[in-house]
Amino acid sequence: MKNSMLTILIALATFTLTFAQSEPITINGKKALPNGRSFPTIGNRIPQNNNKTTTITHLEIPKILPNDIIIRHAGYSLLYDEQHEQAKWVAYELINAETHKVAKRTNKFLPDPLVKTNSANDSDYAGSGYDRGHLAPAGDMGWSSVTMAESFYYSNMSPQVPAFNRGIWKRLEELVRTWTIEYNAVYVVTGPVLTKDLSAIGPDEVSVPKYFYKVILDYTGQDIKGIGFILPNARSGNPLQNYAVTIDSVEKFTGIDFFPALPDIQEEQIENSLCIPCWSWSRATK
């Protein structure tokens, strides 16, 4: 009897541990994105002492506060800031296969239908002198017609100086795609640095950021690593390496907690270190 009871207890403990490790994190109680696309799980495995792995879903999503409402599109998720009429952050995983474009750039800018308070629109940018700068680039969303179309929602736009948008910001976007191909998949969180002292454009008073940020996590192999960038919203011919910082530095600058789903020790190691030579920079200056 004792042996039978012991066997049952061991089995129950094993089931409970397995369930706890595999239960996915949910946002607003949902586990899948629109259009039938599940949140990506490529490259998000953590080696365990028992040679097993645990899946971390939604690894790209920053820390969510109680009143935050996360908007999810087929290729990216975002947190909309109504005060500034743009996203506080946009997050997505980009995998190698998604760098192969199958949809043409639409250039059709539209209000985001999922922003209940209404997003910015054409009138806000008209005659402003600023570009409608993508946060999740159209170049990362060409893997389907749906993702391409949604990349042009105004919730994914922020006022950018034209020379910045078409210059160093574009170079960084292209570099991230290169890293995606080299490392198989990367997690990206990007956005404007939103503060109280910003000027604004248009009837909806869309804030004009002074800085933009981007953090990237390579979590596909043994050599996991992270890197951050903080760039002034201005023309720059400097190397991208000049703007590389630790992810912890971006957290302090923006007040956003990135990659909170990582184990605490691992998160601290990745976010407090910056290894420039660990990344490929062959396309950083082109």
Q: Show which residues are catalytic.
A: 134
CA-based max dimension of the chain: 82
Cross-strand partners of 207: 200
Report how far apart, in Å, the C-alpha atoms of 248 and of each of 38, 173, 236, 271 are. 29, 21, 24, 5
The three-state secondary structure class of 3 is helix
Report how far apart, in Å, the C-alpha atoms of 221 and of each of 22, 113, 187, 225 are. 20, 38, 13, 9
70: buried, middle or exposed (CB in 10 Å: 19+, 13-18, 0-12)? middle
C-alpha to C-alpha distance for 172 and 160, rounded to whole angstroms = 14
Tokens describing residue 28:
């607003």
Tokens describing residue 24:
């996915």
Positive/negative CA dihedral, 141, 61, 57, 279: positive
C-alpha to C-alpha distance for 232 and 212, rounded to whole angstroms = 6
Pairing assessment for the beta strands 45-47 and 200-201 based on DSSP bridges: unpaired
The three-state secondary structure class of 277 is helix
